[in-house]
């Protein structure tokens, strides 16, 4: 399958809504936080997202054997690294700034939700849910089921999970907040540990074929099963 370069709008300024602080942090740098409705804050590692792929990332990229979809690609470090490896790749992200940065880094990107129609449905060899993106939409079961439909039979899904608690399984409302204290509107999010992901995977069309830890990060490799 050939993946064409498809780019969304190149807006440099954040739009109103849940993405505004995220886009500001991608463009200008600085801290970004996930703030839950109960006030708890979790730092988001924007500096790592904007840097080149690191050693832990390389353990994911080495398992991408063919055309790869990076779901929630951010500024595109994984897409760009795959292109340098000669692996066709497409990133998708709701943030226009993320799309622009991915293209600037040498990758292909599309401003789209994973739940929207996408090119190559049912034919992708690999997909990535890195950097906690198993939380997208606040419903990991729905996200995994949707991702299974995007992959070919025996396609590989590579997921990054919470490294601190393998049994963690949470769904919650949150906002993102930038260094200036600006908050986006609330959205649904989720967090899973490795054991929780392994329990959920078979109900969504996947079999777990490997798990590992690298540089205080936790990952799983899932294979799409079924018709």
CA atoms of 28 and 46, how far apart (whole Å)? 10
> pLDDT tens across 162-176, in order?
999 999 999 999 999
Q: Which pLDDT belongs to residue 18?
A: 80
> pLDDT tens across 25-58, in order?
999 887 999 999 888 999 999 999 999 999 999 9
The answer to whether residue 16 sits within a structural domain is no
Q: How far apart are the first and last CA of the chain?
A: 19
Measure Cα distances from 34 to 37, 117, 179, 201 in Å: 10, 28, 12, 26
| Number of domains composing the chain | 1
The answer to whether residue 219 sits within a structural domain is yes
The answer to whether residue 141 sits within a structural domain is yes
This model's pTM is above 0.85: yes
Sign of CA dihedral 153, 154, 159, 165: positive
Q: Which two tokens stand for residue 189?
A: 């999010």
> Residue 158 is part of which domain span?
54-171+189-224
Beta strands in the chain (DSSP E): 32-36, 41-44, 68-71, 89-93, 109-111, 124-129, 151-161, 169-178, 187-192, 206-214, 217-224
The answer to whether residue 49 sits within a structural domain is no
């Amino acid at each position: 399958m050939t993946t064409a370069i498809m780019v969304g709008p190149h807006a440099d300024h954040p739009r109103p809504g849940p993405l505004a602080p995220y886009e500001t942090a991608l463009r200008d740098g600085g801290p970004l936080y996930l703030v839950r409705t109960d006030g708890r804050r979790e730092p988001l590692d924007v500096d790592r997202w904007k840097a080149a792929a690191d050693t832990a990332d390389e353990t994911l990229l080495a398992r991408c054997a063919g055309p790869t979809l990076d779901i929630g690609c951010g500024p595109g470090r994984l897409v760009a690294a795959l292109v340098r490896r000669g692996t066709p790749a497409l990133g998708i992200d709701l943030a226009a700034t993320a799309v622009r940065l991915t293209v600037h880094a040498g990758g292909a990107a599309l401003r789209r939700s994973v739940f929207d129609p996408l090119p190559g449905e049912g034919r992708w060899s690999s997909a990535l849910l890195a950097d906690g993106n198993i939380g997208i939409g606040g419903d990991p079961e729905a996200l995994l089921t949707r991702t299974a439909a995007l992959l070919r039979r025996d396609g590989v899904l590579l997921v990054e999970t919470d490294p601190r608690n393998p049994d963690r399984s949470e769904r919650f409302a949150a906002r993102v907040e930038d260094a200036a204290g600006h908050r986006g509107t609330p959205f649904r999010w989720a967090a899973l540990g490795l054991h929780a992901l392994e329990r959920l995977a078979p109900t969504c069309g996947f079999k777990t074929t490997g798990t590992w830890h690298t540089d205080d990060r936790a990952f799983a490799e899932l294979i799409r099963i079924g018709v």
